[in-house]
Amino acid sequence: MKAYGRRLVQKVSATRAFARVAPYVVPGLDRTVHRLTGGRVLLSASMLPGAILTVAGARTGLPRRTPLACLPEDAGTWLLIGSNFGRPGHPAWTANLLKNPEAEISWRGRDIPVRARLLTGAERAAAWAAVTGFWPPYVAYQARVTREIRLFRLEPR
């Protein structure tokens, strides 16, 4: 995406209107396109790197598949950001990972078993600086909510 287009998408995605609409549109489109392309394409990945997280539900134990923006790290790990588009509650997938940290991500057409770890303290602060440097709208999301946005690091198992 060209610099101007990226800035425009960042500006739009930081708005309250986007936060109201996106949770009902973006994940469904991503899941459909991901399935139709055999795991090779996520529409939202044109803005941010994306993966499909599969984790057991915290209450049901059933597998839950969620398309998510992520930040791949040089160490072969990924950061997941529980922004929920700047809405008040934590997204359900974060509760699932807290209870069931053994999960799987579909990354660039490959299914990779991972272990999730909630980041805290200095480690979280460094990760937050990385994700907000990469995608500034996360700052607006955090400013709209009183909860601390959860950050997870996924490590291959």
pLDDT, residue 34, reads 59
What are 50-62's pLDDT values in tens digits?
899 999 999 999 9
Q: Give the residues across from 141 on adjacent strands.
A: none
Closest CA to 104 of 118, 94, 114, 117: 114
CB atoms within 10 A of CB 1: 11
What are 79-129's pLDDT values in tens digits?
999 999 898 999 999 999 999 999 999 998 899 999 999 999 999 999 999
- What's the average model confidence in pLDDT over 23-41? 67
